[in-house]
Chains A and B, each alone.
Chain A
Amino acid sequence: MKNKNNIRFVQGNEACVEGAIYAGIDFFAGYPITPSTEIMEHLATRLPQKGGKFIQMEDEIASMGAIIGASLTGNKVMTATSGPGFSLKQEALGYACMAEIPCVIANVQRGGPSTGNPTHVSQGDVNQARWGTHGDHAIIALTASNHQDVFKITVDAFNMAETYRTPVVLLLDEVIGHMREKLVIPEPGEIPVVERLRTSVKKGIDYHPYLPREDGRLPMSDFGAEHRYNVTGLFHDMWGFPNNNPEVVSELLRHLVDKIENNVHEISMHKEYWMDDAEYILISYGSSARSAIHLARNRRSRGVKLGVLELQTLWPFPTEMVKEKCAGAKAVIVVEMNMGQVVTQVKNAVDNPQTVFLANRIDGQLISPTDIKSLLRMIQGKGV
């Protein structure tokens, strides 16, 4: 029996905060922006209660800088934003990729480009999460369609940030962020929490902050501890010092990409609904997935073999898994609220890209089961 005190009726943004607290967040820096602001508002209250630190910075860029600085002293850190702020953070996000600094960036998506549609839903930042910062790099981006999962993937985001020494993007959306529903806070230990891996190298012995262990992980040393090393956004050697030797450059870039792309099986998370015998598959994520699941439940009751593959890891894209799951399908419909961002990845993954269709909505309104049903019926040759 669950402890009743652990049951809440909250916004998705609060579920994200609860997940962050559960994961052990120590430090948050942010700048107010709709529809993510509740994350920072709640952390302003919650963090000092557990001895953590919260700071409202002068802008989005400074917030990203501050969390990177705080991560280096050994803290679990996070910032939260939405499209325009996410754009501003990109340079520092790339810095965190290059310097391998664990941090979590929540982007509660709204309509874009530019100021766009601040109080309405969109999933238009999927590709920005992947390629927003300049240069080759890899990134982890997670998403969820309900508050229990928002909690879970927030913990996962902190865990992955520590495990892979990388920024992790939480791609929420306005509907998830602002909608209220039930959240049951798991008991301590129910979801594993990954702590900062610190070096065991003793004082006086040469410590290499950028030399991966055999398992690929890079133990860190806190700023202020006995190992003094350099952190830079330039290509660097295993001590963190700038180096543009062609071998060092190519090896580091490969490492930055491989540490994520080679671990797709570990990072990739998804959920399946009625997939066992599905002839038609809806692939969706975030709040769109709620409509996809609703429609599938409805169609199943009428005998249509419709399944849903809900993606929780968008980047690195789970190409192999999607290919395998869609292998026998008559048609695949990608349900998303943008002009077609994940659908491109799905077409790239499956054997028959001509059987992949896009059901989307780009007007700031949540895509409805009816929107998807219209397309499904056309594909089935039943007419709208």
Chain B
Amino acid sequence: MTKQVFNFKDYIRPRFFPHIWCPGCGHGIVLGSLLRAVHELGLDKNEIVITSGIGCSSRISGYVDFHSLHTIHGRALSFATGVKLSKPHLKAIVPMGDGDALAIGGNHFIHAARRNIDITAIVMNNRIYGMTGGQFSPLSGLDKKATTAPYSTIDRNFDVVELAKSAGATFVARSTVFHANECKNLLKKGISHKGFSVVEILTQCPTYYGRKNKEGDAIQMMEGYKTNTVKIGSKKLEKNPDLIQRGIFIENTDIPEYCEAYDKIIETAMKGKA
């Protein structure tokens, strides 16, 4: 923990502000939480490589004063895998949107989890494709409106937490941008965790998702995160099992991390045992 007072200007590239996100977009709150997490962990900016894909979420990488790799749609985790495996001492953070993480990038998501490579995947779940103007995503869920679902969606949604758990992620957590402090704490734990960590953050898209689905403006959507979510195992779930749970779902330190496992392969190979 650093003693220095947090000032986000120490961690951003201020010339690109104000950012491109819409008024009330939750992504800026994710950005703020991430910067605070990095600050409180006392990480060296030179140690961090932030790798993103395409979409609103991916713009985070350009705003932060870390090594930043803005890649192609859905493939950020594969680029980050190359970064991490080649230089395991670097901290790999990968912010992704719905499509990046679970549509076009779904394969990379489950395989990064399976390998347990030490990457922190931040799934910024706003239940919509924002950059392209409001098409439904694999996180939208049933009976939602989108430009590509004018009569409402018939596609079910993934549960990011369940998917990450079953794919083998060794740290899985969920929070919302309403709970910005909790968000920061979970990011700290995710980044510190040795292995593949997934932090799902519910973040509002008032411009497309909110408007199309009559969920109101950013404020109303954040009120929704307050009322529709509870801490894991809350008693409120007995009355209302549909409430979304927040917190740490899995934190497993027994599974070998991929880069460390590969170091052992190198050791074996160098002894000529291959």
Contact = CB atoms under 8 A, between A and B. Distances in A.
A95 interface: yes
Contacts of A224: 46-47, 49, 67, 87, 89-90
A202 to B, nearest CB: 14
Contacts, number: 141
Interface stretch (B30-38, B155-163, B209-217, B261-269): B261-269
B70 A92 contact: no
A29 interface: yes
Contacts of B68: 228-231
Nearest to A228: B67
Interface in A193-246: 222-226, 228-234, 241-242
Given A75-B86, A228-B45, A62 B67 contact: no
Contact of B83 (A45, A70, A225): A70
Query: What is the predominant secondary structure among interface residues of chain A facing chain B?
Result: mixed
B269 A223 contact: no
B108 A73 contact: no
B69 interface: yes
B86 A26 contact: yes
Contact of B75 (A49, A62, A234, A241): A62
A53 interface: yes
A240 to B, nearest CB: 8
A258 interface: no
A59 interface: yes
B8 interface: no
A65 interface: yes
Contact of B46 (A66, A225, A231): A225
A52 B76 CA distance: 22
B70 A234 contact: yes
Nearest to A232: B70
B266 A51 contact: yes
A223 B85 CA distance: 13
Contact of B87 (A29, A49, A64, A223): A223
A261 B155 CA distance: 49
The CB with the most chain A CB atoms within 10 A, among B66, B79, B262, is that of: B79
A225 to B, nearest CB: 7
A48 interface: yes
A69 B46 contact: no
* Size category of the binding interface on chain B: 35 or more
Nearest to B63: A230
The CB with the most chain A CB atoms within 10 A, among B47, B67, B272, is that of: B67
A120 to B, nearest CB: 29
Nearest to A45: B274
Given A224-B47, A241-B16, A230 B70 contact: yes
A53 B86 contact: yes
B40 to A, nearest CB: 20
A182 to B, nearest CB: 25
B107 interface: yes
Given A45-B269, A92-B72, A55 B81 contact: yes
B270 interface: yes
A48 B67 contact: no
Contact of B274 (A49, A55, A75, A233): A49
B82 interface: yes
15 contacts: A51-B270, A57-B111, A58-B107, A62-B77, A65-B76, A69-B81, A70-B85, A74-B86, A92-B72, A92-B75, A95-B72, A224-B46, A229-B68, A232-B70, A233-B71
- Report the 8 A-B pairs with minimum CB-CB distance, sorted nearest first: A69-B82, A65-B78, A66-B82, A48-B269, A62-B78, A70-B86, A70-B82, A58-B111
